[in-house]
A and B are shown apart, each in its own frame.
Chain A
Amino acid sequence: MTVRIRFFARFRELLGTDIVVDAQKNKGLSDLVKDVAGKNKEGYDAIFDEKGIFREYVILMQNGKRVETSDAPAIRVADGDEIAVFPPVAGG
């Protein structure tokens, strides 16, 4: 199944955006982001701490809806999902 991952702002600069991943069925959201972010150490370190836990400021969305990062390990992604990962917003 395919899942689209979109990084924004600083995360985009480090990891790219619009990344389409061929994910295994029942893949956890947290593991999916780790797999993709792991391709760039600086990008990974910006999103995850040394224990592999999402940093406090990271914001996650699944299909446009916010997801608590602490819930992400238990959330399964589905075919066609769009996952967004970004730092705190600063519009206005």
Chain B
Amino acid sequence: MIAIQTEDVDIGKMITAAKQRGTGAIVVFDGIVRDDDIREMELEAYEEVALPELEKIASDAKKTCNLLSVDIIHRIGCLAVGENILVIVVGAGHREQAYEGSRFIIEAIKAGVPIWKKELRKDGDRWVPGEHKHGCRAGK
């Protein structure tokens, strides 16, 4: 399943569902709201674009890393410290493929999927800065 949602997920159920004939390894990435002296974190997405991009990343990862299954749940809305932000469950025949696939997916999400995080801090709110790989070409 690939989804952007406010609700939390049952990671145990995701792992169970990912097991299939031929599965030899499952890698779970769970991105969590870290206690960086914040009260909460707000997540926002351009859902009409972000969801198809997540689906494409999953498809690319399957082909590139020879994965058997990919599930990605990215949460939006207001999350407390300790809550799940992003859960990626990757199934493969062998651990090398599963680790590689998981890394492929998280790096691709961070590089380009239109989702933003805002830290609601005790000393003032702050948008988490993204990487500046986009925008206009240098010098133009």
Contacts and interface: CB of A to CB of B under 8 A. Distances in A.
Contacts of A88: 129-135
Contact of B116 (A54, A61, A70, A86): A86
Contact of B46 (A6, A54, A68): A6
B48 interface: yes
Interface stretch (B17-25, B92-100, B104-112): B104-112
B114 A58 contact: no
Interface residues of A, number: 26
Contacts of A55: 135
B46 A86 contact: yes
Specify the main secondary structure of chain B where it touches its partner: mixed
Contacts, number: 94
Given A55-B135, A70-B136, A90 B49 contact: no
B136 A91 contact: no
Interface in B82-140: 85-86, 106, 109-118, 127-138, 140
Given A88-B130, A92-B31, A69 B74 contact: no
Contacts of B130: 87-90
A10 to B, nearest CB: 5
B134 A57 contact: yes
10 contacts: A9-B118, A12-B44, A56-B136, A56-B138, A68-B137, A69-B135, A84-B114, A91-B117, A92-B86, A92-B113
Interface of B: 31, 43-46, 48-50, 52, 74, 85-86, 106, 109-118, 127-138, 140
